[in-house]
């Protein structure tokens, strides 16, 4: 709109200037004709040649001239016969033009005038010839051009407005489809495909693809957080059943329950609650972290601390707890993640290995060129069959009820690894011949 207004104003001024210039040329031609007919008489008066019959001779023709002294502009020395007996004309300057003047004719018609300095033979001083011409046609042309320009600008503005409205309607149509999908999610409507996949399948323009990608990632993250919350609730429910069942069984067999048993089971309940409360806090922290955010932790230091703790817990089993560090152990492996998540993974894997190992548990911590941390736990226990390895990640799945546990350790560790873009896998240990658990986690800080 600003460009259109400026362009229209410039075009208007140029057209007006062109019309004024044409009128100025016409008046200049007329002035030369008039000057050629003027003579200075012996008594010092200015007289027009006899027999000149043109527009300056016809009464009130719209073409007039006046001659006055260059030093005394108010004294008219001579004028055209077309003025007849009317008063002298008084031109006034035009603000938009430096040469032409406006005036009002004998019939109250608009006139345009221009002054020309002339010198007559025998004159003692220079004179100024003012030539007047009809201006109604020029002013009408200017008004018509102004109307045309104004109408054109209005039409162009309406056309641009319509095009912008159409562009917005067409351009925002994908956003309306996106809004419809989000509205279905908010209202809880059942979707045939996952919400993330439905958003990714929408046909959007390249300008909206970043928004589509970020929104799909946000929905996926929120879905993952909800699933983890449900998993924690199910895990806690499963973990609390055994201590409560034992207390209820002992209470049902007699009137009294041993205080030591009550303390032991309530301590187990407290540990379970604290554990899952910490896991819930870890999930909240993990959901809040963005890529590249958060404080990096020393993986080797955390692994040494966890290994020392399990040496104390399984002291009666006489297990050889080994930590294999990379050759450049003096350079710390720093991982950008939550320390509680790393301790949860190490704790679950080492606890399982300590329960089944015959004499040796080996923990290996490595980093690779893909900015990932590799955690590997090997033991020399009985290991697992292929079918057991495939089913080991199922929540609450246990293969030997004679060994203490809830069957949730591997499931929780696998879930944590997936949240960090990693993976948990089970293999047969090539060296210790027992079970080998590998966990890869993204986020190695170089």
| DSSP code of residue 87 | P
- What distance in Å separates the CA atoms of residue 168 and residue 196, rounded to the nearest whole number? 26
Instruction: Return the pLDDT at 154.
Output: 93
**296-445 has which CATH code?**
3.30.565.10
- What distance in Å separates the CA atoms of residue 295 and residue 335, rounded to the nearest whole number? 8
- What distance in Å separates the CA atoms of residue 199 and residue 212, rounded to the nearest whole number? 7
Distance of CA 190 to the CA centre of its chain: 31
How many CB atoms are located within 10 Å of the residue 31 CB?
A: 18
Q: Which residues of the chain have pLDDT under 70?
A: 51-52, 73, 188-193, 232, 237-239, 241-243, 245-246, 249-255, 257, 261, 268, 271-272, 274-294, 327-331, 393-407, 446
- What distance in Å separates the CA atoms of residue 377 and residue 315, rounded to the nearest whole number? 18
Instruction: Return the pLDDT at 282.
Output: 56
Residue (of 172, 183, 179, 182) closest to 208 by Cα position: 172
Instruction: Return the pLDDT at 293.
Output: 46
Instruction: Return the pLDDT at 405.
Output: 52
Residue (of 77, 87, 82, 75) closest to 41 by Cα position: 77
- What distance in Å separates the CA atoms of residue 296 and residue 374, rounded to the nearest whole number? 16
Instruction: Return the pLDDT at 290.
Output: 44
β-bridge pairing 320-324 and 360-367? parallel
| DSSP code of residue 377 | E
Instruction: Return the pLDDT at 394.
Output: 62
What is the dihedral angle through the alpha carbons of 170, 175, 177, 183, rounded to the nearest 10 degrees?
-150
- What distance in Å separates the CA atoms of residue 176 and residue 237, rounded to the nearest whole number? 42
Q: 349 Cβ partners below 8 Å, 6+ apart?
A: 375, 377, 409, 413, 437, 439
Tokens 């590799």 — which residue?
A: 374
Question: CA-CA distances (angstroms) from residue 170 to 163, 164, 166, 175, 176?
Answer: 10, 10, 6, 10, 10
- 107 by Cβ neighbours in 10 Å (0-12 / 13-18 / 19+) ranks as exposed
pLDDT in tens, 267-322: 767 766 766 665 665 555 555 454 444 578 889 999 998 888 888 877 777 889 99
Instruction: Return the pLDDT at 19.
Output: 93
- Give me 29's structure tokens: 């031609």
């Amino acid at each position: 709109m600003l460009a259109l207004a400026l362009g229209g104003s410039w075009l208007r001024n140029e057209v007006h200037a062109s019309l004024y210039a044409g009128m100025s040329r016409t008046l200049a031609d007329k002035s030369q004709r008039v000057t050629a007919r003027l003579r200075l008489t012996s008594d010092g008066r200015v007289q027009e040649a006899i027999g000149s019959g043109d527009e300056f001779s016809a009464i009130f023709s719209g073409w007039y001239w006046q001659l006055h002294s260059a030093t005394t502009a108010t004294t008219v020395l001579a004028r055209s016969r077309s003025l007849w007996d009317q008063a002298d004309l008084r031109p006034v300057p035009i603000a938009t033009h430096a040469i032409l003047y406006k005036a009002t004719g004998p019939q109250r018609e608009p006139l345009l005038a221009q002054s020309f300095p002339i010198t007559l033979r025998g004159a003692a001083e220079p004179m100024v010839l003012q030539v007047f011409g009809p201006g109604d046609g020029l002013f009408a042309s200017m008004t018509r051009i102004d109307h045309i320009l104004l109408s054109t600008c209005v039409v162009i503005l309406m056309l641009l407005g319509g095009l912008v409205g159409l562009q917005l309607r067409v351009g925002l149509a994908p956003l309306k489809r996106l809004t419809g999908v989000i509205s279905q999610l908010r209202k809880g409507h059942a979707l045939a495909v996952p919400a993330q996949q439905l958003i990714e399948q929408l046909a959007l323009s390249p300008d909206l693809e970043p928004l589509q990608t970020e929104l799909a990632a946000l929905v996926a993250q929120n879905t993952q957080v909800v699933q983890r919350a449900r998993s924690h609730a199910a895990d806690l429910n499963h973990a609390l059943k055994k201590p409560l069942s034992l207390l209820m069984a002992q209470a049902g067999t007699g009137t009294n329950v041993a205080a030591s048993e009550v303390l032991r089971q309530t301590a187990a309940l407290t540990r379970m609650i604290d554990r899952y409360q910490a896991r819930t806090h870890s999930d909240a922290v993990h959901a809040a972290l963005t890529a590249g955010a958060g404080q990096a932790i020393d993986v080797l230091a955390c692994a040494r601390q966890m290994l020392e703790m399990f040496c104390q817990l399984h002291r009666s089993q006489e297990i050889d707890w080994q930590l294999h560090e990379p050759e450049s152990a003096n350079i710390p492996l720093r991982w950008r993640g939550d320390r509680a998540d790393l301790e949860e993974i190490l704790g679950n894997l080492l606890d399982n290995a300590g329960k089944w190992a015959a004499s040796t548990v080996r923990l290996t911590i490595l980093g690779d060129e893909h900015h990932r941390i590799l955690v590997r736990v090997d033991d020399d226990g009985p290991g697992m069959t292929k079918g057991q390895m495939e089913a080991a990640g199922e929540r609450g799945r246990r293969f030997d009820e004679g060994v203490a546990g809830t069957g949730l350790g591997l499931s929780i560790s696998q879930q944590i690894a997936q949240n960090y873009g990693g993976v948990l896998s089970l293999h047969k240990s090539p060296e210790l011949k027992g079970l080998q658990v590998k966990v890869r986690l993204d986020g190695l800080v170089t």
